[in-house]
Chain A
Amino acid sequence: MSDDKQKVTSTDEFIKGLWRDNPVFVQVLGMCPTLAVSNTAENALAMGLATAFVLLMSNILVSLLRNFVPKQVRIASYILIIATFVTVTDYAIQAISVELHKSLGAFISLIVVNCLILSRAEAFASKNTIGKSILDALGMGLGFTLALFCLGAVREILGNGSIFNMPIFSEGFQSWIVMILPAGGFFTLALWLLIINALQTRKAKS
């Protein structure tokens, strides 16, 4: 048994972030962007991918430097690494689409303080090889994107009657204003947590 546990396959490192240890639905990390910018599917997807990119790059760098950074200043150096890539992302998004940059607002810069990224750096990348760290970052990043997309899709469909700005209902759809408001973020997140928890309890029982 103990042998099994030590031999975590590389697919496991990737899959765990998507489902078993999903950063939003299971670990409930990074709530600020999750609740704030998941009002449309587009915003959610952009935010998720931006976070995934920063997570991937910072995991790589932290993993590379793990034997050189003194223990006392490790958090500060992680933040510095993360902040660098956030700045890169910030400018990149601004170059790709000014409109998207406007609608995400301050939340792009706030990726710096997303505890998901810091927790992966501290708990995983600083202790594992670069290959594993990349897989971990990809899994966690995509898991985060997936979760944000799940929230954003529900909120946009109910709150706007559209998905990716394409209307999916016929004329005269009654939009649920509350879903676009911050309160809708909490409702939707709670709903998803309920569903995921119910599924996982059922799985654990059987």
Chain B
Amino acid sequence: MLKKTLDISSSPHIYKGRSTNEIMKNVVWALLPVVFFSVYSFGLNALLVIATATFASVLTEHVLCRLSKKETTIGDYSAVITGLLLGLTLPPSFPLWMAFIGGIIGIALGKYIFGGLGYNVFNPALVARAVLQAAFPVAITTWHPAFLTDRFSSIASSVFTLPFMEPKFDVISGATPLSAFKFDGVTTSTAELAFGQVSGSAGETCAVIIILGGIYLIARNMMNWRIPAAVLLSAFVLSGILYSINSELYPSPWFMLFSGGLMLGAVFMATDMVSSPITPIGLWIYGGIIGILTIVIRVWGGLSEGVMYSILLANAISPHIDSIIKNRVYGTKRKIKTA
């Protein structure tokens, strides 16, 4: 029988036939090489930290859905991505109980409190990391050296710290290229940075693998290329200008581009679909703000790394970016210039 009523629905009316689920799954595929490299370079420590953060995120999502009597949404992989990203931004010898709390905070405070997937103002993984950074500043800035010979047989003592207890870090700890530069004035060669021969957060060390993951997502049209392009370009240009002014004081733009979490942030965090603008020009502005703020924090700020805060700040203003550059609707009045 023919339906008598007319269904009224809002746009979009044409679908690509692609679900959130599928896109998220592909992001997970793109992240897996990063995870593998992280485990390869940091050993069991990184594996445990990433697994714990992911498990906590998925568990929290499930429990919160149950508590609010909704169907569980862990099947859409978004919680997995949040957990993976959080794990990848933590130092490899991070205590597991802190990583677990991070996972809970990311989903509960970063996502679910706003209404779940599609409503979060900030990138959930970065919310979690920001809280962890504020709560445990020592643990989150104690880095583990990469490529230790016993990395697949032994686990750092700090990883299995009892819940709520202060971690005791091993004596040997590595400095990240950024902190080495900021506090000791030592630069690391770009080749070492690009292929992940350095210390740092679990997943930020190998720039090449991250770029490959990004290219895969862009090629499948699941990520907007403008964001990483804008972030990297603006960071490169600003640090290039600084380098040309005084190459003694400021590091080279290539160092800035490949060190720290800039690559991971530009490719996997800033591109979070929910918390970034939707208009093409807006995306350029958004990415530009992230890149410039990152360099500003790195060069003049008190911290050695600024990607996290710059992405969170840009997340906060992304709806405003869209509303500022909104096109004039045809037929409406032009803004009258007040001369």
Contact = CB atoms under 8 A, between A and B. Distances in A.
Interface in A96-117: none
B136 interface: yes
Of listed B131, B135, B139, residue having the most chain A CB within 10 A: B135
B174 interface: no
Contacts of A176: 135-136
B170 interface: no
Contacts of B135: 176-179
Contact of B136 (A173, A174, A183): A174
A179 to B, nearest CB: 7
B167 interface: yes
Nearest to B67: A198
B130 to A, nearest CB: 9
Contacts of A173: 164-166
Contact of B164 (A174, A178, A183): A174
B166 A177 contact: no
A88 interface: no
Interface size class of B (residues with CB under 8 A): 10 to 19
Interface string B62-96: 00000000000000000000000000000000010
B320 to A, nearest CB: 22
Interface string A176-204: 11110101000000000000000000000
B134 interface: yes
Contacts of A174: 95, 98, 136, 139, 161, 164-167
Contacts of A172: 165-166
A169 B134 contact: no
A173 B139 CA distance: 13
A6 to B, nearest CB: 40
A190 B137 CA distance: 23
B134 A181 contact: yes
Contacts of A169: 164
Given A172-B165, A174-B95, A181-B134, 13 more contacts: A172-B166, A173-B166, A174-B98, A174-B161, A174-B166, A174-B167, A176-B136, A177-B134, A177-B136, A178-B131, A178-B134, A179-B135, A183-B134
Interface of A: 169, 172-174, 176-179, 181, 183
12 contacts: A169-B164, A172-B165, A172-B166, A173-B165, A174-B95, A174-B98, A174-B164, A174-B166, A177-B134, A177-B137, A179-B135, A183-B134
What 3 A-B pairs are tightest by C-beta distance, nearest first?
A: A178-B134, A178-B135, A174-B166
